[in-house]
Structure 1
């Protein structure tokens, strides 16, 4: 369970990182829309785990590796934005948020199940 402080800090990071990716993300991920779906912060506020979703991109692992390669640059830009609000700028860890893929996969399974003929209930 996250504290209010962690949730507030995660919200600030999510908002500022979204602006960074929107304005400057095209330089290292051209033609890709990056969405920050979730940010989780450790209790000491030293590490932020950022979950990303990539649209208009076929290879999410390559996109994630590209973002990880630019993590120091992204952290620097984040630090220049939030320097007056925090004591330390957290280390950034990036992950792919595959919730949409999971939902699509589950929908396909449920569609397949609903198209199968129902077996009559046998009561004994």
Structure 2
């Protein structure tokens, strides 16, 4: 369970990273769009796990790999924004958020279920 401090800092990182991606790193995504769905912070606030969702991107995992290569530049841009607010600039890790695909898969499984009608049992 994350503390209030971790949640608050995670929301701030999420907001700042989305702004950085829209303004400074939009060439990475081409015509696609990226959404930072969640940021999980470590208890000491030194590491951030960023979960990304993509729209209109052919290979989302390739984009995540490119972001991992550019982590140092992204962290530097983040540091320029939050350096007066925090002591430690967190190390960033990017992960593909597949909850939408997982939900669609579960929904398809439910659609494919064949449930026989209930039979009425006679009371004796």
Q: Is the 8 A contact 2:40 2:49 kept in 1?
A: yes
2:89 maps to what in 1?
89
Superposed counterparts of 1:73-84, under 5 Å: 73-84=73-84
Runs of 4+ in structure 1 over 3 Å off: 119-124
2:25 maps to what in 1?
25
TM-score between the two structures when normalised by the length of structure 2: 0.90
Q: Is the 8 A contact 2:64 2:94 kept in 1?
A: yes
Q: Which has the larger radius of gyration?
A: 2
Unaligned 5+ runs, structure 2: none
What's the secondary structure of 2:29's corresponding residue?
Answer: coil
In the alignment, the residues of structure 2 paired with residue 66 and residue 41 of structure 1 have an alpha-carbon distance, to the nearest angstrom, of 22
Note the alpha carbon deviations across 1:76-124, whole angstroms, 9 max, x for none.
00000001110110000111110000111111111111xx362544759
In the alignment, the residues of structure 2 paired with residue 10 and residue 66 of structure 1 have an alpha-carbon distance, to the nearest angstrom, of 22
Number of aligned residue pairs: give it. 122
What's the secondary structure of 2:92's corresponding residue?
Answer: strand
Note the alpha carbon deviations across 1:5-32, whole angstroms, 9 max, x for none.
1111111101000111122232222112
TM-score between the two structures when normalised by the length of structure 1: 0.90
RMSD of aligned alpha carbons: 1.6
In the alignment, the residues of structure 1 paired with residue 69 and residue 33 of structure 2 have an alpha-carbon distance, to the nearest angstrom, of 17
What's the secondary structure of 1:28's corresponding residue?
Answer: helix
Q: Is the 8 A contact 2:34 2:54 kept in 1?
A: yes
In the alignment, the residues of structure 2 paired with residue 89 and residue 15 of structure 1 have an alpha-carbon distance, to the nearest angstrom, of 15
Unaligned 5+ runs, structure 1: none
